[in-house]
């Protein structure tokens, strides 16, 4: 009987401690209206550089850009982002010029995609790409860069195929 009692005295407090540690995280009480809303992760826009849109030698627009230049950042892209700051976009940089395909799964924003050759020439523009879609959006030719803008921005800026881009990194990678 004594080993059973000793085991009970050791196990009971340990179980009680484990049950207490699994409670609600610090924050609003479970009775508050905020507690019933799930927390959605937000990914803040990070300014890594500036991109210059050029036509006939004149800069027509300057944008803040977030740079996606490795497999992880290119795979994530603008997924789970609900908005972009004004005059901003994401520049995808690839190691070589090749046919590219993008999809919009887990991306709640409609986007314009500018497919850009290694020399900085806009090869083609896909406007108002449908959000949350698994359909491939292709470059229809070899490109080294892809610029994602909020849908409508390429029209608002008057961008056309044949325009040029240049960019500079202003933040450490």
Residue pLDDT, tens place only, 64-112: 999 999 999 999 899 888 889 999 999 999 999 999 999 998 899 999 9
Helix, strand or coil for residue 117? coil
Give pLDDT, residue 9: 42
Q: Which two tokens stand for residue 58?
A: 């004149």
Q: Please check whether the domain covering 49-169 is classified as CATH 3.40.50.300.
A: no
Q: Which two tokens stand for residue 6?
A: 């000793």
For residues 163 and 10, give the distance between their C-alpha atoms in angstroms, rounded to a whole number: 74
Between the alpha carbon of residue 86 and those of residues 63, 116, 150, 167, the distances in Å are 9, 21, 9, 18
Nearest to 69 by CA among 99, 85, 49: 49
Residue 144 has pLDDT above 70, yes or no: yes
């Amino acid at each position: 009987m004594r080993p059973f009692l000793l085991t009970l005295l050791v196990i009971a407090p340990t179980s009680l401690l484990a049950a207490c540690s699994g409670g609600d995280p610090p924050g609003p009480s479970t009775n508050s209206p905020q507690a019933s809303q799930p927390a959605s992760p937000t990914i803040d826009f990070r300014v890594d550089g500036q991109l210059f849109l050029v036509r006939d030698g004149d800069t027509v627009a300057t944008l803040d850009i977030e740079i996606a230049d490795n497999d992880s950042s290119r795979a994530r892209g603008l997924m789970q982002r609900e908005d972009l700051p004004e005059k901003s976009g994401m520049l995808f940089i690839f190691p070589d010029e090749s046919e590219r395909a993008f999809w919009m799964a887990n991306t709640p924003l409609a986007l314009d995609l500018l497919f850009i050759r290694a020399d900085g020439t806009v090869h083609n523009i896909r406007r108002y790409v449908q959000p949350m879609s698994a359909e491939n959006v292709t470059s229809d030719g070899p490109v080294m860069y892809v610029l994602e803008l909020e849908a409508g921005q390429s029209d608002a800026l008057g961008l056309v195929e044949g325009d040029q881009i240049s960019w500079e990194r202003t933040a450490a990678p």
